[in-house]
């Protein structure tokens, strides 16, 4: 992806502009999220039920966990489109291990390990061989999903131990699910890493000018490899949570999730060309998409319509900044 991005000039936006962004795009997203919340509450009498709100978090938690490192990867001018297939492959390996009698702690380690290996494989191909991340991850997307279909065919694996279900169905306090609590902790952690550590500053530096970052002493390839590994690890974690929640593994698990994850990142204000973005915007975008999809499901809107809405949101949020910038340039000229 880095090769495709160098054709357009990118204005540097990094951590110092964080509060300024919070007052513009992030503030707008927050207002829209609150508006959607109010509309859902008025449209359905069941929406404000505490357990329904808890169920609403299951619509986006796994995707939101993946988008945290994905946002950092896009800021660094790379992308991983194989996350959904990584979930499928990780879930498949866990399913066969469960059928062989593996207990819950080891199943979790297997899920995380497979995701990490998939992320490292993507990262090595991109960084060591200097290949486009879009092309590579489209290829591995087909590869991982194809392996899943070969191993499973049309069957489902559901021999998971009872204790494994807690990760996707358990609650830590009242209506607060373990999945949502874990997302809150990870969101705070990734926000701190991106906006308050040298690792986050290096991510912005690479996104704004990879060559300049290299000459300033940043190991760009190693940094991006770590980001790919983080995306793979979080995909493995999402696989553990999703498989635990569903209680079974099918070859179509998480089909099409890569679109939703990228939409969350871009909707949250992350520049698809790299170099700018904030974790706060991404987190708000995750809540917004979760509320939209849950509200539509309460109104019995078909899933295909939700896919159309997500696709339209992705097109709008990518094209709107470009169109606005060109209009402003024409006015200046």
User: What's the chain look like in SS3?
Assistant: CHHHHCCCCCCCCCHHHHHHHHCCHHHHHHHHHHHHHHHHHHHCCCCCCHHHHHHHHCCCHHHHHHHHHHHHHHHCCCCCCCHHHHHHHHHHHHHHHHHCCCCHHHHHHHHHHHHHHHHHHHHHHHHHCCCCHHHHHHHHHHHHHHHHHHHHCCCCECCCCHHHHHHHHCEEECCEEHHHHHHHHHHHHHHHHHHHCHHHHHHHHHHHCHHHHHHCCCCHHHHHHHHHHHHHHHHHHHHHHHHHHHCCECCCCCCCHHHHHHHHHHHCCCCCCCCCCCHHHHHHHHHHHHHHHHHHHHCCCCHHHHHHHHHHHHHHHHHHHHHHHHHHHHHHC
Domains of the chain and any CATH numbers: 2-30+58-323 (1.10.3470)
**pLDDT score for 175:** 85
Per-residue confidence (pLDDT) for residue 166, from 0 to 100? 92
pLDDT means per 10 residues, the chain with 333 residues, are 41 47 72 88 84 86 96 96 96 95 94 97 95 95 96 89 91 90 96 95 95 93 97 97 94 91 91 90 92 82 77 76 78 78
Relative to beta strand 171-173, strand 176-177 is antiparallel
pTM of the entire predicted model? 0.87
- Count the neighbouring beta carbons within 10 Å of the beta carbon of residue 189: 12
- Quick one: pLDDT at residue 1? 46
3-class secondary-structure state, position 171: strand
């Amino acid at each position: 992806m880095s090769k495709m991005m160098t054709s357009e000039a990118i204005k540097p936006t990094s951590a110092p502009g964080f509060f300024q962004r919070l007052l513009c795009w992030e503030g707008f997203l927050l207002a829209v999220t609150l508006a959607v919340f109010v509309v859902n509450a008025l449209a359905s009498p069941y929406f404000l039920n505490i357990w329904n709100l808890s169920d609403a978090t299951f619509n986006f938690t796994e995707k939101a966990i993946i988008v945290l490192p994905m946002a950092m990867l896009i800021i660094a001018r790379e992308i991983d489109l194989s996350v959904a297939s990584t979930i499928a492959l990780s879930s498949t390996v866990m399913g066969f291990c469960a059928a062989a009698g593996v207990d819950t702690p080891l199943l979790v380690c297997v899920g995380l390990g497979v995701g990490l290996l998939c992320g490292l494989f993507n990262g090595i191909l991109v960084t060591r061989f200097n290949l486009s991340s879009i092309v590579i991850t489209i290829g591995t997307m087909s590869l991982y999903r194809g392996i899943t279909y070969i191993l499973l065919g049309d069957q489902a694996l559901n021999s998971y131990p009872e204790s494994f279900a807690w990760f996707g169905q358990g609650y830590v306090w009242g209506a607060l699910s373990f999945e949502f609590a874990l997302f809150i902790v990870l969101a705070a952690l990734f926000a701190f890493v991106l906006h308050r550590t040298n690792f986050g500053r290096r991510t912005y530096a690479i996104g704004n000018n990879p060559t300049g970052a290299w000459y300033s002493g940043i190991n760009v390839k190693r940094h991006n490899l770590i980001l790919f590994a983080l995306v793979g690890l979080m995909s493995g974690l999402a696989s553990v949570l999703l498989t635990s929640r569903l209680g079974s593994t099918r070859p179509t698990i998480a089909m099409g999730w890569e679109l939703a994850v990228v939409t969350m990142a871009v909707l949250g204000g992350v520049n698809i060309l790299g170099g700018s973005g904030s974790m706060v915007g991404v987190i708000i975008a995750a809540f917004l998409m979760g509320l939209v999809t849950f509200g539509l499901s309460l109104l019995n809107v078909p899933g295909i319509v939700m896919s159309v809405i997500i696709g339209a949101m992705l097109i709008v949020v990518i094209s709107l900044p470009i169109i606005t910038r060109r209009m402003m340039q024409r006015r200046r000229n």
